[in-house]
Homo-oligomer: A and B are copies of this chain.
Amino acid sequence: MATYVYDFAEGNKDLKDLLGGKGANLAEMTRMGLPVPPGFTITTEACRAYLRTGSVPAGLFAEVQEHLHLVEARMQKNLGDPRDPLLLSVRSGGKFSMPGMMETILDIGLTDSSVVGLAAQSGDERFAWDSYRRLIQMFGRTVFGVPGEEFESELAAVRAGAGAASDAELPVAQLQDLVQAYKKVFHAHTGRDFPQAPHEQLFLAITSVFQSWNAERAVLYRRQERIPQDLGTAVNVMAMVFGNRGPDSGTGVAFTRDPATGRRGAYGDYLSNAQGEDVVAGIRNTVGLHELAKLDPPSYRQLLSVMERLEQRYRDLCDIEFTIERGKLWMLQTRVGKRTAAAAFVIAAQLVDEGTITLDEALQRVSGEQLAQLMFPSFDTSAAPTPLTTGVPASPGAAVGAIVFDSAHAAAADRPVILVRPETNPDDLPGMIAAQGILTSRGGKTSHAAVVARGMGKTCVCGADELRIDLATETVTVNGTVLHAGDVLSLDGTTGRVYLGAVPVHPSPVVRYFEGELAPANDPLLAAVQRLMTHADHVRRLGVHANADTGADAARARRFGASGVGLCRTEHMFLGERRELVERLIVADDDTERDAALTALLPLQRADFVELFEAMDGLPVTVRLIDPPLHEFLPALEDLTARVARAEALGLDPGHDAVLLAAVRRMHEANPMLGLRGVRLGLVIPGLFAMQVRAIAEAAALRVAAGGDPRPEIMVPLVGAVQELETVRTEAESVLHSIDGIPRIRIGTMIEVPRAALTAGEIAHAAEFFSFGTNDLTQMTWGFSRDDVEGAFFGRYLALGIFAASPFETIDSGGVGELVRIAVERGRAARPDLTVGVCGEHGGDPASVRFFHRAGLDYVSCSPFRVPVARLEAGRAACTAATSDSR
């Protein structure tokens, strides 16, 4: 027969699959000889058996009974003893912590008779009866599903009757009445009496934890987080200990180092003569842990010693919960503790200094997400401004601007603005683009505003429900303050805080360090960042390039550690004043006009490339030939249509608008994303690609003549068939052959159309390198356009758990990633020395960088700002076999 119950002394911290996280850590502490209240863990296997069959596996309760006897023996108390009852807590605890499951039932074992014993033993009748009424309430609600508000209304009635302002003021007699009232509520809803057999309470609670695995919210959470639905939860049963037995008792939480800064030394809060829930309820203020040194020096010393041993055992910052009952210290929980991004870097470096972990391990203790957080600007809160209100921190960053209430005003504003809306919808997109930040009063992290803002990298606080926004009067009222359009707000997208007025923005010191403006000496954070980045660069196999279109961008990327430009988008060189030339190119009626426009563009493009090659001298610069459809350079069809219709209705001559409208109509496409763009343009518009190739080659020749070392590469976008690439290559090579004094220029292709990935074996015959364009590849593999769907249904998809993350933020390894694997394998099989990189936005996303490492790419390319993040994650990926995203 299977063993379904483990005494705490039987397990250890590595048995998380079987005992859950909480149970494994309790077992580890018990094995270490630390003072853990006696108890046992019912395994996840028992839960799985229950879920499979619908009934508790045979022998489980007998096993529980046996282990209970051991607990009773060690505590020298018996469950349900009317004189001095043993009380138990029952807690769920899966491998991964998970909201939506039943968390805890305390004080199991209280009955009509044992409550009297507890009162006598504790000397606190009020405490005993209050504990009993709480048990009935918690048990009724979580085990039998009695609606919580029914208990609440009884409580309110008793409180009103007693004239008590709070529960804490209720005298014993009223608490006893309340127990009777609660028992009636319980009976009315369940058709049975509140169980007076303590064992029955225990067994029902255990079964109920099993069932809560399939609670709707838990199922949805697992679907969203991609946690398997069949793991099951463990159940921890532990003897209750009490911190509210007098001044020599108390309860606290502590960290082995400061989780905010990483500073060495124990850090925590203590509340004497209180239970854990009192800390949460905030009835009294806690004191710092050092106060315990004065109150109870032996316990304090013991606690410090326990914490030191836990750090050594876990080789990391631990957080703990503890209780002191009449001078005796009890450890209730421990785990590797959460920490801020800054602390993560500092602690990792410290642990290396202390000889506890290696540099490889230290890299696993920090993440690209944390580094990215450290690179956002933040508000200078040294003046300690008071937040006006706080909402959901939906998209990080610090934004300051004047309030506007709609898109039109946002787009027209001549100073920075904050778009304030009850919620956003696709109509608000222009305003969101124009604004510094977005503030809404409704919706959470998957609302339209949140999803779109994160996609844009724009600061957003949403669901700030204290705001009352009146669009008609253009006012927003918050706790009595009335704000108008034009009033200045500051939004902290990292904390969700909203400030009135302009809070000074504080540039990130980590960015200033990367820029070479700050030295790491004497700054523990910068020193830690320097140390870990150096190690990441040392171990990583992936190269990190940057997406940059100008010399300035390229220079910045180089300072941030990029070893090349992986994507230069040439169409950005067609904007501004040059737009007029593009218009000429498009409306050209014949070859002569078109050639004239191309000839005029040539020297402009060439000058751009000279600047770029100079900034990246000695490093590769991959130039993508023009990609977007040409009509993107013309006014929008809808605007032109309205202008011409208006003019005609008034009998006016629409003039040049009519000419433009004809061109726009001719080039109009129902789905421009899937239209005449990329290599198709190059094959249809004579001379366009040749002009670009000439500009690249002539710029390289100029740099060579100036003593430089330009290393351009030519990249053809949107290729789906090798025949397209062959045709462009033939034309490009003939241009290159005609220009003297240039280095060898490699020609390769984007892999951004699913067909290119599928036929990579053929395409590699004509390509010296591949660069995955994972934005387009994601759009085409899923069949949705980012512009259209992020707002329309991504929120709903995230809420339904169809996406774990937006596939535009983190690469969809199962679908898009499968095409990446296929293309790498087939491409390299056909051309073993093929260089393979990625230049979509995923190149700077931590989980995606790890994926690209595993897929065997040679480099990632990302925006200059993300280069350090990619370097760090490339290092992390290289020095771990099992990366953390394997789930």
List A residues at the B interface (Cβ < 8 Å).
223, 425-427, 637-638, 641-646, 648-650, 665-666, 669-676, 680, 683-684, 718, 720-721, 723-724, 727, 752-755, 758-759, 762, 776, 779-785, 787-789, 792-793, 796-797, 800-803, 812, 814-816, 818-819
A718 CB contacts on chain B under 8 angstroms: 783
A803 CB contacts on chain B under 8 angstroms: 721
Question: Closest residue to A637 on the B side, CB-wise?
Answer: B638
Given A671-B787, A754-B754, A754-B780, output 16 extra A-B contacts at Cβ < 8 Å. Answer: A637-B638, A643-B645, A646-B648, A649-B649, A670-B672, A670-B673, A671-B674, A671-B785, A675-B789, A675-B792, A676-B789, A684-B796, A720-B781, A720-B782, A755-B783, A776-B783
Question: Closest residue to A719 on the B side, CB-wise?
Answer: B783
A416 vs B767: C-alpha distance when bound (angstroms): 51
Knowing A755-B783, A814-B762, the reply to whether A788 touches B670 (Cβ < 8 A) is: yes
A780 CB contacts on chain B under 8 angstroms: 754, 780-781, 783
Question: Closest residue to A755 on the B side, CB-wise?
Answer: B815
Q: Could you give 13 example pairs across A and B, Cβ below 8 Å? A: A643-B645, A645-B649, A669-B785, A669-B788, A670-B672, A672-B788, A676-B788, A680-B793, A720-B781, A721-B802, A724-B802, A754-B754, A780-B780
Leading 5 A-B pairs by shortest Cβ distance: A674-B785, A755-B815, A671-B785, A675-B788, A642-B645
Question: Closest residue to A795 on the B side, CB-wise?
Answer: B684
Question: Closest residue to A724 on the B side, CB-wise?
Answer: B802
Knowing A642-B645, A646-B646, A800-B683, the reply to whether A720 touches B783 (Cβ < 8 A) is: yes
Could you tell me if A812 and B755 are in contact, using CB atoms closer than 8 angstroms? yes
A752 CB contacts on chain B under 8 angstroms: 783
Could you tell me if B783 and A671 are in contact, using CB atoms closer than 8 angstroms? no
Knowing A637-B638, A815-B720, the reply to whether A782 touches B800 (Cβ < 8 A) is: no
Copies, count: 2
Could you tell me if A802 and B727 are in contact, using CB atoms closer than 8 angstroms? yes
A776 vs B782: C-alpha distance when bound (angstroms): 11
Chain B nearest CB, measured from A820 CB (Å): 11
Could you tell me if A674 and B783 are in contact, using CB atoms closer than 8 angstroms? yes
Residue in contact with A800 in the complex, picked from B637, B727, B753, CB distance below 8 Å = B727
A802 vs B643: C-alpha distance when bound (angstroms): 41
Could you tell me if B723 and A788 are in contact, using CB atoms closer than 8 angstroms? no
Knowing A727-B802, A781-B758, A815-B759, the reply to whether A788 touches B645 (Cβ < 8 A) is: no
Chain B nearest CB, measured from A224 CB (Å): 10
A644 CB contacts on chain B under 8 angstroms: 642
A671 CB contacts on chain B under 8 angstroms: 671-674, 785, 787-788
Could you tell me if A223 and B723 are in contact, using CB atoms closer than 8 angstroms? yes
A812 CB contacts on chain B under 8 angstroms: 755
Could you tell me if B755 and A781 are in contact, using CB atoms closer than 8 angstroms? yes
A782 vs B756: C-alpha distance when bound (angstroms): 8
Could you tell me if B793 and A676 are in contact, using CB atoms closer than 8 angstroms? yes
Knowing A673-B671, A721-B802, the reply to whether A758 touches B818 (Cβ < 8 A) is: yes
A674 CB contacts on chain B under 8 angstroms: 671, 673-674, 779, 783-785, 788-789
A665 vs B427: C-alpha distance when bound (angstroms): 8
Chain B nearest CB, measured from A377 CB (Å): 32
Question: Closest residue to A665 on the B side, CB-wise?
Answer: B427
Could you tell me if B758 and A789 are in contact, using CB atoms closer than 8 angstroms? no
A643 vs B784: C-alpha distance when bound (angstroms): 31
A637 CB contacts on chain B under 8 angstroms: 638
Question: Closest residue to A758 on the B side, CB-wise?
Answer: B818
A723 vs B720: C-alpha distance when bound (angstroms): 29
A815 vs B782: C-alpha distance when bound (angstroms): 16
A680 vs B797: C-alpha distance when bound (angstroms): 9
A718 vs B802: C-alpha distance when bound (angstroms): 14
Question: Closest residue to A783 on the B side, CB-wise?
Answer: B753
A781 CB contacts on chain B under 8 angstroms: 720, 753-755, 758, 780
Residue in contact with A641 in the complex, picked from B425, B638, B670, B723, CB distance below 8 Å = B638
A680 CB contacts on chain B under 8 angstroms: 784, 789, 792-793
Interface hub of A638, A718, A784 (most chain B Cβ within 10 A): A784
Could you tell me if A802 and B425 are in contact, using CB atoms closer than 8 angstroms? no
A669 CB contacts on chain B under 8 angstroms: 785, 787-788, 792
Chain B nearest CB, measured from A161 CB (Å): 42
Chain B nearest CB, measured from A423 CB (Å): 14
A675 CB contacts on chain B under 8 angstroms: 784-785, 788-789, 792
Question: Closest residue to A818 on the B side, CB-wise?
Answer: B758
Could you tell me if B788 and A819 are in contact, using CB atoms closer than 8 angstroms? no
Could you tell me if A782 and B755 are in contact, using CB atoms closer than 8 angstroms? yes
A834 vs B683: C-alpha distance when bound (angstroms): 42
A646 CB contacts on chain B under 8 angstroms: 645-646, 648-649
A638 CB contacts on chain B under 8 angstroms: 637-638, 641
A815 vs B723: C-alpha distance when bound (angstroms): 13
Question: Closest residue to A819 on the B side, CB-wise?
Answer: B758
Question: Closest residue to A670 on the B side, CB-wise?
Answer: B787
A229 vs B364: C-alpha distance when bound (angstroms): 54
A631 vs B125: C-alpha distance when bound (angstroms): 69
A684 vs B791: C-alpha distance when bound (angstroms): 12
Could you tell me if A723 and B642 are in contact, using CB atoms closer than 8 angstroms? no
Chain B nearest CB, measured from A776 CB (Å): 7
Question: Closest residue to A680 on the B side, CB-wise?
Answer: B793
A803 vs B683: C-alpha distance when bound (angstroms): 13
A669 vs B784: C-alpha distance when bound (angstroms): 11
Could you tell me if A676 and B758 are in contact, using CB atoms closer than 8 angstroms? no
A785 vs B779: C-alpha distance when bound (angstroms): 13
Could you tell me if B684 and A793 are in contact, using CB atoms closer than 8 angstroms? yes
A650 vs B797: C-alpha distance when bound (angstroms): 45
A766 vs B673: C-alpha distance when bound (angstroms): 31
Knowing A641-B641, A642-B642, the reply to whether A796 touches B683 (Cβ < 8 A) is: yes
Question: Closest residue to A226 on the B side, CB-wise?
Answer: B723
Chain B nearest CB, measured from A855 CB (Å): 14
A645 CB contacts on chain B under 8 angstroms: 641-643, 645-646, 649
A723 CB contacts on chain B under 8 angstroms: 223, 800-802
Residue in contact with A684 in the complex, picked from B427, B720, B792, B819, CB distance below 8 Å = B792
A606 vs B362: C-alpha distance when bound (angstroms): 65
Chain B nearest CB, measured from A579 CB (Å): 20
A665 CB contacts on chain B under 8 angstroms: 427
A665 vs B428: C-alpha distance when bound (angstroms): 12
A223 CB contacts on chain B under 8 angstroms: 723
A642 CB contacts on chain B under 8 angstroms: 641-642, 644-645
A670 CB contacts on chain B under 8 angstroms: 672-673, 785, 787-788
Interface hub of A666, A793, A802, A812 (most chain B Cβ within 10 A): A802
Could you tell me if B755 and A792 are in contact, using CB atoms closer than 8 angstroms? no
A803 vs B800: C-alpha distance when bound (angstroms): 41
A643 CB contacts on chain B under 8 angstroms: 645
